[in-house]
Amino acid sequence: MSLTRRLLLSYLAIIGLTTAVVILAGNRLLRSRLTADAAAELEREARYFEMSARGRDARGLDSLVHALTATTGRRLTVVDRSGAVLADSDFPQGQLGSLENHAARPEIREALAGRTGTDLRRSVSTGRDELKVAIPSSHGAVRISAPLPQVEEAISHSRGAVLLGAFIAALAAAVLALAFAVNVTRPLRRLRDAAEAIARGDRPALDVRGRHEVGQLARALRTVDDNLSGRLADLERERAGMAALIGSMVEGVVACDARGTVTAVNPAARELLGLGDGAAPPVQEIFRPRAAREAIDATLHAGTEVTDLEVEVDHRTVLLSGRALKDGGAVFVVHDLTTLKRLEAVRRDFVANVSHELKTPLTVIRGFAETLRKDEPPRDVAHGFLDTMLANTRRMQQLIDDLLDLSRIESRAWTPEPEPVELEPLAREVWAGLSQRGNAPTLTFETDITSGAALLADRDALRQILVNVLDNAARYTPAGGTVTVRARPEGDQLRLEVSDTGSGIPSDQLSRIFERFYRVDPARSRELGGTGLGLAIVKHLVEAQGGRVEALSVLGAGTTIRIVLPAA
């Protein structure tokens, strides 16, 4: 039921109750007033009769009461001081002896006591409802009675007017109540609609001009709406900022509820943990190692904080940290240690390799130097010792130079200066400088380069790239073999290939030949004077100029180093 209908029914109930009370009270008041007026009139008639009856005997009283009753229609009764009836207009003189003594009647008792007595009751003698008024007289008491229907007739005549007035008043009050209920509920309905609109996130128009309670409520609702809108805007900005912050984090962030269901995961975590774009599995299934699952369960159920737990996830080493939330659930942060671990391994290998590479020539130099100092070998033997010491010194010098070059490239202290460089003349120039290395004098050098092919590259860097690649080809290609340099356009780039007819490289080692100090045949490489850094330098120089490098090889059929750089 609507508020308007409830208010209207309430008002109508109040109006009906008020009308009934007014009618009953008016009826009672009217009855009382009419009864009082009738009693006063009867008292006046009784006093008139008493004046007329003074000095009369019983027979005179009887004739007088009958004469006045015939004129006025009132019942007259005269009693002596003992209450015996002396005359009664309703009874003849001969029947008065049979009437009951009236001394106990309330109005007679009052009159015999010297006061005016009034009573409204059913008469025992006549059996009618009568209004009785008695006054003191010289005989004892005089009572005059009037039937009650006269009073009721007056009340019934007035009751119709009262009911008509009450009906008109009730009808007018009902109309006013309806108007009032509508006027009260209309702004309330507007406030209800405004509250529902605010709940939906809209900004409704509110009439806040009124000074009454509804206007005050509208102003309060407007204030609530403004405050709520401001807070929601602040929360939205904070949420957007937090989402942007978490989304831009390098570390992976995974949030879950108390049951372990993932509720939020940032892009870094999806990539790091291989979750894809769909719904993430429970957090206990993401981290499968037992130590990780136990730590996650402890965080979710006991609130224990996870601090720097190192676990393996999909061949990656990650550092897991987690903290429980106040309202249940937890947030876990994953930091990828794979690159750091690899760099630590590279650093350890680098130190071990450098130590190993320097230890052998230093041992040789020290041994021959001590021999030359203590002994006096023949001149030709001494010259042999010196040649060996000089070769090992050059080897260490070459190693240090390569390390310095590699460090300079990796630290970005070197910046390439690209310029158009014709490939054909530069390749022949480099090979000419290597003509005395390894088996170069016995090898056939060929070029298959598109006429006028040129690279957009740093000339010195390109020279060093060709030196290292061709030097390797010369060292590891047996006598009578062939070294070929090819170049072909590839879109806006140029593909450069250096091929040899050497022994080739096993396929399982191709991916590692660009690592520092990695050698397919370590013993032979040292024997041929290689430092193990040449191809690592090539890789860094090519990538620093926006290119790429790869190795192709067939065991027993030779190796091809393919380099792709921007074309001029």
Cα–Cα dist 466/17, whole Å:
114
Compute φ and ψ for 390, nearest 5 degrees.
-65, -40
- pLDDT above 70: residue 431: yes
Cα–Cα dist 509/426, whole Å:
30
Predicted local confidence at residue 470, as pLDDT: 87
Predicted local confidence at residue 492, as pLDDT: 86
> Measured over all CA atoms, what is the biggest interatomic distance in the chain, rounded to whole angstroms?
201
Predicted local confidence at residue 151, as pLDDT: 60
- pLDDT above 60: residue 215: yes
pLDDT (tens digit per residue) in 467-518:
888 888 888 888 888 889 898 888 888 888 888 888 888 877 777 777 766 6
Q: Does the CA dihedral 496-502-504-505 come out positive or negative?
A: negative
Q: pTM for the whole thing?
A: 0.44
- Structure confidence at residue 395 as a pLDDT band (50, 70, 90): confident
- Structure confidence at residue 438 as a pLDDT band (50, 70, 90): low
pLDDT (tens digit per residue) in 320-369:
888 888 878 888 888 888 878 877 877 776 677 677 667 777 888 888 88
pLDDT (tens digit per residue) in 25-46:
777 777 777 778 788 888 888 8
Higher pLDDT, 28 or 420: 420
Strands 316-324 and 306-313: antiparallel
Cα–Cα dist 147/38, whole Å:
10
Cα–Cα dist 308/322, whole Å:
9
- 254 close to 281: Cβ distance less than 8 angstroms: no
195 SS3 class: helix
Cα–Cα dist 521/506, whole Å:
11
> What 8-state DSSP symbol labels residue 155?
H
- Structure confidence at residue 523 as a pLDDT band (50, 70, 90): very low
**Axis crossing angle, helix 338-374 with helix 379-410, rounded to the nearest 10:** 160
Strands 482-490 and 444-449: parallel
- pLDDT above 60: residue 280: yes
Predicted local confidence at residue 390, as pLDDT: 86
Strands 85-88 and 117-122: unpaired
Predicted local confidence at residue 520, as pLDDT: 63
Written in H, E and C, the secondary structure of 494-507 is EEEEEEECCCCCCH
CA distances from 263 to 115, 258, 310, 319 (A): 100, 10, 23, 21
- Amino acid at position 367, single letter: G
- pLDDT above 70: residue 549: yes
- pLDDT above 60: residue 439: yes
Predicted local confidence at residue 214, as pLDDT: 64
- Amino acid at position 378, single letter: P
236 burial level (CB within 10 Å; 0-12, 13-18, 19+): exposed
CA atoms within 13 A on the CB side of 261: 4
- pLDDT above 50: residue 524: no
- Structure confidence at residue 421 as a pLDDT band (50, 70, 90): confident
The DSSP bridge partners found for residue 485 are 447, 498
Predicted local confidence at residue 39, as pLDDT: 81
Cα–Cα dist 473/485, whole Å:
11
- Token code pair at residue 454: 């040129």
- pLDDT above 70: residue 532: no
Residue (of 174, 136, 190) closest to 11 by Cα position:
174
- 534 close to 470: Cβ distance less than 8 angstroms: no
- Token code pair at residue 237: 């900005």
- Structure confidence at residue 249 as a pLDDT band (50, 70, 90): confident
Higher pLDDT, 60 or 523: 60
Q: Does the CA dihedral 14-20-26-28 come out positive or negative?
A: negative
Nearby residues of 405 by Cβ (< 8 Å), 6 or more positions away? 464, 537
Average pLDDT over residues 151-163: 68
Q: How many CB atoms lie within 10 A of CB 417?
A: 10
Could you tell me where the beta strands, DSSP code E, fall in 98-139?
A: 117-122, 129-136
Percent of the residues in the chain that have a pLDDT greater than 70, as a whole number: 84
- Structural element, H or E, at residue 145: strand 140-147
pLDDT (tens digit per residue) in 472-481:
888 888 888 8
Higher pLDDT, 267 or 243: 267
Cα–Cα dist 320/306, whole Å:
7
Higher pLDDT, 143 or 288: 143
331 SS3 class: strand
- 562 close to 496: Cβ distance less than 8 angstroms: yes
Average pLDDT over residues 427-442: 79
- 495 close to 488: Cβ distance less than 8 angstroms: yes
Predicted local confidence at residue 348, as pLDDT: 77
Average pLDDT over residues 126-154: 78
Cα Rg of the chain (Å, integer):
64
pLDDT (tens digit per residue) in 79-98:
888 888 888 888 888 788 78
Q: Which residue has the tokens 């947030």?
A: 331
Percent of the residues in the chain that have a pLDDT greater than 90, as a whole number: 0
Average pLDDT over residues 304-327: 82
